[in-house]
Structure 1
Amino acid sequence: MRSKLMSALLLCLPLSALAAAPVPPATQPELEQIGTAPSAQRIEADIRTLVGFGTRHTLSDTTSDTRGIGAARRWIKAEFERISAQCGGCLEVRYVSEVVSGEKRVPDPVEIVNVIAIQRGSSDPGRYVIMSGDIDSRVSDVMDATSDAPGANDNASGVAGILEAARVLSKHRFAGSIVYAALAGEEQGLFGGKILARHAIDNGWRIEAVLNNDMIGNIAGINGIIDNTTARVFAEGTRFNETPEQATARRFTGGEVDSPSRNLARYIDRMADLYVPNLDVMMVYRLDRFGRGGHHRPFNDIGAPAVRVMETNEHYHRQHQDLRTEDGVVYGDTIDGVDFAYAAKLTALNAVTLAGLAGAPPPPADIEIEGAVTADTTLRWSPVPAAQAPDLAGYKVYWRLTTEPQWSHSRYVGNVSQYTLSNVVIDNYFFGVAAVSTDGAESPVVFPGAAGSFGGYQAAAREPIKENQATP
């Protein structure tokens, strides 16, 4: 009894009173190097190659070696294989595909083929962080599969970013697994994302994060603004598959702005501040732009944390347009509209985020909070499994005013499973917990309850997805 009372008292003491292990470092030299590693020259070369296939429309030619989406996906797969060869076979490169038909934009049977490369984690390979971009391009008529559709920014820039992130990160090793995913069928109905989300469910992936990159190379907006120092991260609030019971609990405890996707966005913002020179993140509290969609949405649909990373200022004359000039206005998504240094900067943002997430312990689970009608707030959580995080140092408790967008207060509390913040009133703040490794790598902050949990995806009722069935 005396031992239990002493343990309870120790949890309420300030950190300085505890004989705890040293506080992990605040930053990581490895991430500082990754934050400046992506090459604008390599990204430019990849974009030029993708543009050179003429069109990458989902319904375009799949047999030619020089034109159409078939040639493009084979080149992407070969490039992943070249990257893997340089790291001793560290990437598992494959197709993940499904035949789609009977849809408004895919009326006849078409095999939608994703190209993915998996960099397996060392201690927690079942935990996945995903960087995606879409292969396909289009012109004004979404069903026009033959006209030239260079898709330089939308979205050769995103695919080039994925390839470059793989080149950079394959030189390092991480606890969790990283997936580099070039997805198809986005313009016809987000089919590539749906296929990979189903594949993840079928194969038991624990998805910690999805970073969808869709247009990361334009700095000159149609509004006249030129900006190469900011990026937008779109993140939805309430989890799409929230149950009525969970919605009722959220009504009384909060969590509308603390979904796992929102806390993933806060994590990305923090990584930009720490590791990517001259880049600021604009967090947008919305699933996507008005009337628009992206390949992160199918992952949000199953309840996984997923966001869209993209340029801040778009130029609509360069999106979904036939190549033409009208009344002196040039239309079309051509390569002269891409700023390669900016694309490299947003690639670096992805790379440091993937490295930070995969290198950190998994997010803590089963977080509970109490403190009603008291001066103190107590948080409890389930310890991260030792096998998944052999380098776990402990946990950090975060809190912020309910009107603040970013976590503003934190305290490293050591390797415990509960902690009491004295004289921090539960009614005035939002709270969360992150896991921390010995080298300072942190998981995203997890808000208490189902609203903030990084687990709990649900499979859609669909036929199993076929893997490695694409025509070579």
Structure 2
Amino acid sequence: MKIIFFELEQTLIDKGRLIPGVVEVLSKLQSVQDSHNEVSELALISCNNQENIDSDKRLNHFHSIVKDNGILHFFEPLSEKITFPDNGHKKISENTFRDAINKIRVGLSYHHTIFISANQSHVTLARSLGMTSIHYKGTVNEKAEIDNLDDLLALINRLLLYSPCGKRLNEAKGFTISHSNKSKKIDSEIKSITERVDTNQLLENITKLTEFGTRWSYSPEISKVPIWIFDQFQRIGYSIEKEIQYQPFELPNSQPQMNVLCGNKDKDMIIVCSHYDSISETPSFSAPGADDNASGVAATLELARIFRNIPLKRNIMFAVFGGEEQGLYGSAACAEKASQEKWPIDVVINLDMISYKQTGALSKIIVEYDQGNKNSNNDAAAKAFGLTMAQAATDYTSLEVAHTDIWNSDYIPFEAKGFACIGAYNATDNPFYHKVSDTIDKIDITHLAEVVKMVAATILILGK
């Protein structure tokens, strides 16, 4: 579920009158579906507050304004769809946002909301809470990210298509238990290579990533993270002249952002990808993101180390993306470039949240493969790759495997471009997901090592 909040003044209405084009935008948003094929709720926040006024009178006052301007039907019942700052204050606070969300869905994460305002300070506050926020010019004479309603609608559509990530297993489609049986003959070379997975190295890399404090995309220190990842590929032995590169991408109202790519595109290739950014209830202060997604980055780096000098018939491109939590911005930029330049991608393997296991439980993993989404032409290939990974897990690890469709992570932009996509994901919902408590003491490093072995075996099966 997504909620789209508009700050009423100077965004939809100015001096009591509706801004031209607003009705058309709201009408279109009523029918736009997000990545879960759901229509978003529309709601209002107003700072045109008045002190010492009865709450019923205030609501009636705004009811008249909204009705007279012909947009009441978008926000009914208005008592649930409009929120004011507390105690006659003129500025929005964290409590304002929390109250507004709880009116519609109690406890819904900030991460599942979009906030549009002409007030830069309100946009900044919303972002600090993890909300997806758009600085719209409206009727304010100042520089903004979006200057007109057509561009605003296009951006909201994009954000809903690549919904800021919020994965829960009960939202997954196509759940099945893997029926892979252990092969009669195990490849001794594959087994030997998978045993090179180093839990100490995995733990060291997760530790370093969590020590950044926050890897929030809007953090002033975010550029240090891709620099560190670039350095790790170089330390492993990859060439900065021929193999490692930064790939720039844009994130609204932010400093320049970078993906890190490592590999060559001169023959058929496998992309192994993960995202380095993190989110929490207070991402501007703390978002350690140990499982989400230091685990995926550490796995990517460990696979890069293992395969540094192993010749394969397919190349491997290791890709570590930014901007995932804001709506797959880094991976979307990479997928667009891959499509334009016709990269010879056979399969994209996404690693996102792969280190959490309940204490005492068996090691289980979800092997996701594309089951529809935007492009159905790649489904058969994706299923074949997914079943190959399940077989690799059965033959070379202790993991139990189930399958679901892919959703809400960095393979989605590649799927939309027609590439076959699979992924690995926790088989148990992590209770510390998107929280400051997603810390290194909550991960299971032995379980993570088994997942890395599974991916390594898959690459070897596909690459031999």
Shorter-chain TM band: 0.5 to 0.7
Match of 2:343 among 173, 198, 205: 205
Q: Which residue matches 1:45?
A: 204
Q: Counterpart of 1:189 in structure 2: which amino acid?
A: G
Q: Which residue matches 2:216?
A: 57
Q: Is the 8 A contact 2:251 2:323 kept in 1?
A: no
Match of 2:411 among 296, 300, 313: 296
Q: How many angstroms does 1:189 deviate by?
A: 0.3
For residues 441-462 of structure 1, the C-alpha deviation after alignment (integer angstroms, 9 at most, x for no partner) is xxxxxxxxxxxxxxxxxxxxxx
Matched, 1:195 2:333: yes
| Superposed counterparts of 1:211-226, under 5 Å | 211-220=349-358, 226=360
Q: Which residue matches 1:440?
A: none
Q: Is the 8 A contact 2:356 2:442 kept in 1?
A: yes
Match of 1:261 among 379, 382, 386: 382
Instruction: Summarize the Cα distance change of 1:90–1:174 in structure 2 as closer, same or farther, 3 Å threshold.
Output: farther
| Superposed counterparts of 1:18-417, under 5 Å | 27-61=186-220, 68-84=221-237, 92-101=243-252, 108-118=253-263, 125-140=266-281, 144=283, 146-220=284-358, 226-238=360-372, 240-242=374-376, 259-274=380-395, 276-284=396-404, 286-288=405-407, 293-316=408-431, 318-321=432-435, 323=436, 332-359=437-464
Name the SS of the counterpart of 1:201 in structure 2.
helix
Q: Is the 8 A contact 1:239 1:303 kept in 2?
A: no
For residues 246-301 of structure 1, the C-alpha deviation after alignment (integer angstroms, 9 at most, x for no partner) is 8xxxxxxxx9xx62222211110111122x231222122x233xxxx111111111
Q: Counterpart of 1:40 in structure 2: which amino acid?
A: T
Q: Is the 8 A contact 2:368 2:424 kept in 1?
A: yes
**Distance in 1, Cα, partners of 2:426 & 2:250:** 32
Q: Is the 8 A contact 2:279 2:325 kept in 1?
A: yes
**Distance in 2, Cα, partners of 1:91 & 1:165:** 19
Instruction: Summarize the Cα distance change of 1:227–1:116 in structure 2 as closer, same or farther, 3 Å threshold.
Output: farther
Q: Counterpart of 1:213 in structure 2: which amino acid?
A: L
**Distance in 2, Cα, partners of 1:239 & 1:215:** 21
Q: Is the 8 A contact 1:183 1:192 kept in 2?
A: yes
Q: Is the 8 A contact 1:112 1:191 kept in 2?
A: no
Instruction: Summarize the Cα distance change of 1:150–1:91 in structure 2 as closer, same or farther, 3 Å threshold.
Output: farther
**Distance in 1, Cα, partners of 2:217 & 2:324:** 8
Q: Is the 8 A contact 2:397 2:453 kept in 1?
A: no
Q: Counterpart of 1:139 in structure 2: which amino acid?
A: S
Identity, in percent, stands at: 26
For residues 384-405 of structure 1, the C-alpha deviation after alignment (integer angstroms, 9 at most, x for no partner) is xxxxxxxxxxxxxxxxxxxxxx
Q: Counterpart of 1:175 in structure 2: which amino acid?
A: K
Q: Counterpart of 2:227 in structure 1: which amino acid?
A: R
Q: Counterpart of 1:259 in structure 2: which amino acid?
A: A
Instruction: Summarize the Cα distance change of 1:151–1:91 in structure 2 as closer, same or farther, 3 Å threshold.
Output: farther
Unpaired runs of 5+ residues, structure 1, are 1-24, 62-67, 102-107, 247-254, 324-331, 360-472
**Distance in 2, Cα, partners of 1:91 & 1:48:** 29
For residues 296-322 of structure 1, the C-alpha deviation after alignment (integer angstroms, 9 at most, x for no partner) is 111111121112201211223x1112x
Q: Is the 8 A contact 2:216 2:287 kept in 1?
A: yes
Q: Which residue matches 1:451?
A: none
For residues 341-379 of structure 1, the C-alpha deviation after alignment (integer angstroms, 9 at most, x for no partner) is 1111111111111222223xxxxxxxxxxxxxxxxxxxx
Name the SS of the counterpart of 2:418 in structure 1.
coil
Q: Is the 8 A contact 2:249 2:259 kept in 1?
A: no
Name the SS of the counterpart of 1:300 in structure 2.
helix
- Structure ranking higher in strand proportion: 1
**Distance in 2, Cα, partners of 1:90 & 1:259:** 37
TM-score (norm 2): 0.57
Q: How many angstroms does 1:200 deviate by?
A: 1.3
**Distance in 2, Cα, partners of 1:228 & 1:30:** 26
Q: Counterpart of 1:338 in structure 2: which amino acid?
A: I
**Distance in 1, Cα, partners of 2:365 & 2:241:** 30
Name the SS of the counterpart of 1:217 in structure 2.
coil
Q: Is the 8 A contact 1:231 1:279 kept in 2?
A: yes
**Distance in 2, Cα, partners of 1:287 & 1:131:** 15
Name the SS of the counterpart of 1:189 in structure 2.
coil
Q: Is the 8 A contact 1:128 1:358 kept in 2?
A: no
**Distance in 1, Cα, partners of 2:249 & 2:462:** 29
Name the SS of the counterpart of 1:133 in structure 2.
strand
Q: Is the 8 A contact 2:206 2:290 kept in 1?
A: yes
Q: Is the 8 A contact 2:292 2:433 kept in 1?
A: yes
Q: Is the 8 A contact 2:215 2:278 kept in 1?
A: yes
For residues 98-157 of structure 1, the C-alpha deviation after alignment (integer angstroms, 9 at most, x for no partner) is 2232xxxxxx1443311111056xxxx42110111110011125xx4x211111110000
